[in-house]
Amino acid sequence: MSEASMKQRDTPFYILIGLLSVQVAYGLYWAGYDVSARLDLWENQALATAFVHSLTMTQEVFFFSHVALNMVALGLTLAGRHWALPVFILSFVCDRADWVIMGSNNLFSILVDVDTWALFSFTLQGAIIALLVFLRFEGRLR
């Protein structure tokens, strides 16, 4: 295989690594938002307290599972393991469940532009799943 075709073959893999890295950073950003409210690091303490009290345990389990599974999926992808696909799909399901629960949270809807973030997240996750499927069937993830 020529060097040019090797680079071309690796391009989707590197794009996937980049997108998964963005997904991990995105999840960690929101985890920091959540944790900072719990640690009273917000300027507006009343808003932080209201935010924390608006979250359910179920939602937090879905959310932090999603964040952790993103990191696992990135590690599995870097290792070239096909398990990255089912792990990321599970992460996606956890994230969608979190968004469904969060959709009824009026306080969160006031704090952030939910529609924009949901569209960004869904588009990013769709691209990641498509690349994981492509690389799995190409044999790049074994």
Q: Tell me the CB-side half-sphere exposure of residue 65, using CA atoms within 13 A.
A: 18
C-alpha to C-alpha distance for 75 and 61, rounded to whole angstroms: 21
Q: What are phi and psi of 39, to 5 degrees?
A: -90, 10
- pLDDT by residue for the chain (142 residues), tens only, comes to 555 555 667 999 999 999 999 999 999 999 999 999 999 999 999 999 999 999 999 999 999 999 999 999 999 999 999 999 999 999 999 999 998 888 777 777 667 777 788 889 999 999 999 999 999 999 999 9
Sign of the C-alpha dihedral computed for residues 23, 54, 112 and 98 taken in this order: positive
Give the global pTM. 0.89
Alpha-carbon distance of 37 to 103, in angstroms, equals: 19
Decide: 19 and 132 in contact? Cβ < 8 Å.
Answer: no
